[in-house]
Amino acid sequence: MYIRRVKRAYSVTLPDGSELTRDDLPSPTTRRWVASRKAAVAKAVTYGLMEAEEACRVYALSQEELDSWMQAISRHGEAALKATTIRQFRS
């Protein structure tokens, strides 16, 4: 029996000092994307926990959708990902 070791980060430290691990990411079968789940995936890509291509493949996202999440967080913070405030932040 062989154990396959993958060379990728298991955790990253965010600028606020908190730690984001692969266990903190949403399930690949996620169908309901709330702001906190979107933010977790976007932060994982931004800080190098996973590559954008991997995130798109695992979560069945388009590159444009992932880019829009990352752009919304960088401009307006995590609140910009909430469906109820989408008009306020997109213009």
Tens of pLDDT, residue by residue over 40-80, are 999 999 999 999 999 999 999 999 999 999 999 999 888 88
pTM of the model: 0.82
Distant-in-sequence, close-in-space partners of 35: CB < 8 Å, separation ≥ 6: 78, 79, 81, 82, 83
Domains and CATH numbers, the chain: 18-23+32-89 (1.10.10.10)
Give buried/exposed letters for 8-34 (b at 16+ CB in 10 A, else e).
eeeebeeeeeeebeeeebbeeeeeebe
Query: What was the pLDDT predicted at 89?
Result: 62
- Given pLDDT bands bounded at 50, 70 and 90, which one contains residue 82? confident
